[in-house]
Amino acid sequence: MAKVKIRPAERDDLPRLTEIYNYYVINTPITFDLKPFSVRQRARWFDEHAGTKRYRMFVAQDAGRVVGYACTGPFRDKAAYDTSVETSVYCAHDEKRRGIGAMLYRVLFDALKNEDIHRLLAGITIPNDASIELHLKFGFTEVGVFSECGRKLDRYWDVVWMQRPLRLGTVP
């Protein structure tokens, strides 16, 4: 297996990023989107998350193939929330439990260290032990659970919200 390389996302990655995300749209409650996206539909999302400053996106590449991504984006559309960003990390469904999510978060959080960000926030559909474990590893703490706040796959799902300050000290 080749060494996984983490790099900033590029527009040419968008088809693969869409493919990775759509797997979770179709097959899991991990995201509350209900219908898969076309690459064209995901272009705006890419532009919102793959900039510089507080909204960034990195991809993990293994043997020339994108196998995951992590990004920050806006939390809410009100100016007072600007220093809080929501984090997301997705790995290709056949690439999970290889440490790729941790590699991505390590690079993403390091890239953000000098930005005007106070809080990193994450909403995780539960159960999702792997994602909760990853976030705990990076210093996130649980702040609450929204019960049955999303309906997908013929049932209601809870979402745990986690947060951490951007500047924690040493990142694992």
What is the per-residue pLDDT across 162-171, written as a single tens digit (0 to 9) for each? 999 988 654 4
Do strands 57-62 and 5-8 pair parallel, antiparallel, or not at all (unpaired)?
A: antiparallel
Q: Which residues contact 171 (CB under 8 A, 6 or more apart)?
A: 105, 106, 109, 110, 138, 139
Q: pLDDT value at position 95? A: 85
- Would you give the end-to-end CA distance of the chain in angstroms? 24
What is the per-residue pLDDT across 30-66, written as a single tens digit (0 to 9) for each? 999 999 999 999 999 999 998 888 999 999 999 999 9
What is the per-residue pLDDT across 56-103, written as a single tens digit (0 to 9) for each? 999 999 999 999 999 999 999 899 999 999 999 999 999 877 899 999
Q: pLDDT value at position 98? A: 87
Q: pLDDT value at position 1? A: 41
Q: pLDDT value at position 169? A: 56
What is the per-residue pLDDT across 6-17, written as a single tens digit (0 to 9) for each? 999 999 999 999
- Long-range Cβ contact pairs of 90-97 (< 8 A, separation 24 or more): 90/20, 90/21, 90/24, 91/20, 91/60, 91/67, 92/20, 92/23, 92/66, 92/67, 92/68, 93/20, 93/23, 93/24, 93/27, 95/62, 95/67, 95/68, 96/130, 97/130
Retrieve residue 168's tokens. Answer: 């924690």
CA distance 84 to 62: 31
Evaluate if residue 2 carries a pLDDT over 60: no
What is the per-residue pLDDT across 131-161, written as a single tens digit (0 to 9) for each? 999 999 999 999 999 999 999 999 999 999 9
CA distance 29 to 17: 18
Helix, strand, coil tally for the chain in percent (to 5): 30, 35, 35
| Predicted model pTM | 0.92
